[in-house]
Amino acid sequence: MTFTNQIVAVATCRTPYKQKFGIPRQPGLVEARGYVELEPHVNHIDAVRGIEQYSHLWLLFCFHENLAQGWKTTVRPPRLGGNEKLGVFATRSTFRPNGIGQSVVKLHGVVQRKGKVCLEISGMDLVDGTPIIDIKPYIPFSDSITDAVGGIAQDAPKLISVVYSDNAKAQIERYAQQETYTDLAVLIRGVLGQDPRPAYKKAKDDPKLYQVALYDLDVFWQMAVDNNDQEYILVLELKPGKCG
């Protein structure tokens, strides 16, 4: 069966995540704030009339940065350490036949920004600029199933400790004085606490220097080991980024 009606984006998601690396692998894991900006053909306050009665929304979106790479019948989920394959339809992999994803986000309100009707949200797992193809209210009695079985993702991922160098602490304190970065420390800890490294990097000593782009900043970090031989993430410094 084929469909002839063309699907077009109804909105664009604006988030602190400027690159795919470091984005939470599921929604709700990091309380990052962002906006859903309505596109011109639906940019009317009537299109969201009544939406503030809901605490959460479903966002249907396009994995626009992956479309050129095509799809795969099997993928290697990070939850399995990248060592085992599952069918694409048994995962939430980005490499899908139609490149469509869905996320639940928290709604904080409706605002006007630069002439656009926007939904202020948090908890999204989307790269900045993601096309939104539909917005639907989250309905608790039908969308939440308390005894559901989650397969390989039954429980939330375990977090790794995040420590700031003295230099990084001082930089974050300075940035936090600006409105854009008031939640910067929380955002960094939430993003890095998920350990965004590829699965194959986690099974051995990893001396690499990593970088994550948040807002218009590059956050540099590396793995370290404490006196109890436990790994943690050490944030070294922040620099103005190239992705902003």
Q: What pLDDT digit, counting tens, does each position of 143-190 carry?
A: 998 899 988 888 888 889 999 999 999 999 999 899 888 889 999 999
**Is 25 a residue whose pLDDT tops 90?**
no
Residue with tokens 């922040």: 238
For residue 54, report the phi and psi dihedrals to the nearest 5 degrees. -105, 145
User: Which residues partner with 104 through β-bridges?
Assistant: 58
Report the share of the chain in percent with pLDDT over 70: 96
The pLDDT, as a whole number, for residue 2 is 60
CATH topology of domain 158-240: YaeB-like fold (3.30.2310)
The pLDDT, as a whole number, for residue 202 is 72
Supply angle C-alpha 138, 90, 97, rounded to 5: 85
**Is 200 a residue whose pLDDT tops 80?**
no
Domain 11-152 has CATH 3.30.1490.20: no
Residue 243, burial from CB neighbour count under 10 angstroms (0-12, 13-18, 19+): middle
**Is 37 a residue whose pLDDT tops 60?**
yes
The pLDDT, as a whole number, for residue 93 is 87
pTM: 0.86
The 8-class DSSP code of residue 17 comes to B
| Residue pLDDT, tens place only, 106-124 | 999 999 998 999 999 999 9
Residues of the chain with CATH 2.40.30.70: 11-152
> pLDDT higher for 5 or 103?
103
